[in-house]
Structure 1
Amino acid sequence: MGLSHDAVVAIAKSFGLFYLIAMSVGICVYAFWPRNRARFTHAKHAILEDEDGPLTGEEPR
């Protein structure tokens, strides 16, 4: 006896919901982890560094 289409759809929707919740929690934990503060602070300020000068052909930092 196999699963009906409605049962498979309900299982897929439930799995997808829990998957997205787990991914959201994981991303928030990564973003607010104290050890990552320096990396994100550097990224925040790096976009403003060397903005007024011409391109020199150097490798980006």
Structure 2
Amino acid sequence: MDTYTAMRAFADSWALLAMTLFFFGVVIFALRPGGRNASDLAAQIPLNDEHPEPRP
């Protein structure tokens, strides 16, 4: 089995499964209860006019 065939078989099976599980994990994380407050705070970061003091 040459390298291309092995990589193709891996991508068709386990890599696809890993990407699918990662996608559903991100969706569940984004839609979890209590995540709305964190999402709203993160969405307001670019609009925040206050500049924090730089750390020493």
Q: Is TM > 0.5 for Structure 1 vs Structure 2?
A: yes
SS at match of 2:53: coil
Name structure 1 gaps, 5 residues minimum: none
Instruction: Tell me the CA shift for residue 38 of structure 1.
Output: 0.6
Count of aligned residue pairs for this structure pair: 50
- Highest Rg: 1 or 2? 1
Name structure 2 gaps, 5 residues minimum: none
Instruction: Tell me the CA shift for residue 29 of structure 1.
Output: 0.4
- Which residue in 2 is equivalent to 1:39? 38
Higher helix share: 2
Q: Percent identity?
A: 24
Q: Which runs of at least 4 in structure 1 moved beyond 3 Å after TM superposition?
A: none
RMSD: 2.1
Q: Which amino acid aligns with 1:39?
A: A
- TM-score w.r.t. length of structure 2: 0.69
Following superposition of structure 1 onto structure 2, how do residues 1-61 of structure 1 map, counting pairs within 5 Å?
4-5=1-2, 6=5, 8=6, 9-10=8-9, 12=10, 13-50=12-49, 58-59=53-54
In the TM superposition, what whole-angstrom CA distance separates every residue of 1:2-51 from its partner, at most 9, and x where no partner exists? xx454x442x1200111110000000000111211111100111210117
- TM-score w.r.t. length of structure 1: 0.64
